[in-house]
A and B are shown apart, each in its own frame.
Chain A
Amino acid sequence: MSRTDKVTIKIPRPLYDRLKAIIQGSGFDSVTDFVVYVLRDLAASKEESSRPSASLTPEEIEAIKRRLKALGYL
Chain B
Amino acid sequence: MGKTNRVVVIGLDGVPPKVVFEKWRGDLPALSMLASSGLHGRLRSTDPPITIPAWTSMFTGKDPGELGCYGFRNRRDRSYGPLALADSTSVRAPWLWTILSRRRLRSVVIGVPQTYPPMPLKGALVSGFMAPHEGARFTYPPQLKEEIGRICPDYEIDVPNFRYLGKEHLARKVTEMTRNRFRLVRHFMERWEWDLLIAVEIGPDRMHHGFWRFLDPEHPAYERVPEYETLVKEYYKMLDRSISEILEILDDRTSILIVSDHGARPMKGLLRLNEWLKRKGYLRLKEDLASPVALHPSMVDWSHTLAWAEGGYYGRIYLNVRGREPHGIVPPSRYGELRGQLAQELVEMVGPDGSPLGNRVLIPEEIYRATAGIPPDIMLYAGDLSYRVSASVGGEEIFSLTNDTGPDDANHDIWGMYILYEPWRSQGFSPTAKEASILDIAPTILEALGVDVDFQMGGRLLE
19 pairs, A vs B, C-beta closer than 8 Å: A46-B120, A47-B120, A49-B120, A50-B94, A50-B119, A51-B89, A52-B89, A55-B89, A56-B85, A56-B117, A64-B87, A64-B131, A67-B160, A70-B164, A71-B158, A71-B161, A72-B209, A72-B405, A72-B408
Query: How extensive is the interface on chain B, given as a class?
Result: 20 to 34
A60 beta carbon closer than 8 Å to chain B: yes
Cβ–Cβ contact B120 & A48, under 8 A? yes
Of all chain B residues, the one with the shortest Cβ separation from A56 is B87
Q: CB of B98 within 8 A of chain A?
A: yes
How far does the Cβ of B107 sit from chain A's closest Cβ, in whole Å?
11
Considering the complex, give the chain A residue whose CB is closest to the CB of B162: A71
A64 touches B130 (CB 8 A): yes
In the bound complex, CA of A73 to CA of B133 (Å): 16
Docked CA distance A72–B324 (Å): 32
Closest 10 CB pairs of A and B: A63-B132, A72-B163, A72-B406, A47-B120, A50-B98, A52-B119, A48-B101, A72-B405, A52-B117, A70-B161
* Per-residue contact bits, chain A 30-74, to B (CB 8 Å; 1 contact, 0 not): 000000000000000011111111111000110111011011111
| Residues of chain A contacted by B85 (CB below 8 angstroms) | 56, 61, 64-65
CA distance A67 to B163 in the complex (A): 12
Q: How far is the CB of B85 from chain A (nearest CB, A)?
A: 6
The reply on B17 being an interface residue by CB < 8 A is no
Could you say which of A46, A63, A73 has the most chain B C-beta atoms within 10 Å of its C-beta?
Answer: A73
Contact A72 B403 (CB under 8 A): yes
> Complex formed: what's the CA distance from A71 to B161 in Å?
5
Chain A residue contacts of B286, Cβ below 8 A? none
Chain B residues with CB under 8 A of A46: 120
| Interfacial chain B residues near A49, Cβ < 8 Å | 98, 120
Asked whether any CB of chain A lies closer than 8 Å to the CB of B136, the reply is yes
Q: Which residues of B contact A63 (CB under 8 A)?
A: 132-133, 136
CA distance A47 to B406 in the complex (A): 41
Q: Given A48-B120, A56-B85: A73 and B136 within 8 A (CB)?
A: no
B-chain residues with CB within 8 Å of residue A72 when the two chains form the complex: 162-164, 209, 403, 405-406, 408
Whole-angstrom distance from the CB of B206 to the nearest CB of chain A?
9
Instruction: Name, among A48, A50, A67, the residue most crowded by chain B CB atoms within 10 Å (CB to CB).
Output: A50
The winner among A48, A54, A61, A63 for most chain B CB atoms within 10 A is: A48
Interchain CB contact under 8 A, B95 and A53 = no
Q: Which residues of A contact B102 (CB under 8 A)?
A: 48
Query: Which of B72, B117, B163 interacts with A53 by CB under 8 Å?
Result: B117
Q: Mark B228-249, 1 if CB is under 8 A from A, else 0.
A: 0000000000000000000000
**Seed contacts A50-B119, A56-B132, A68-B72; 16 additional CB < 8 Å A-B pairs:** A48-B102, A49-B98, A52-B117, A53-B117, A55-B89, A56-B87, A56-B117, A64-B85, A64-B130, A67-B130, A67-B158, A68-B130, A70-B160, A70-B161, A71-B158, A72-B406
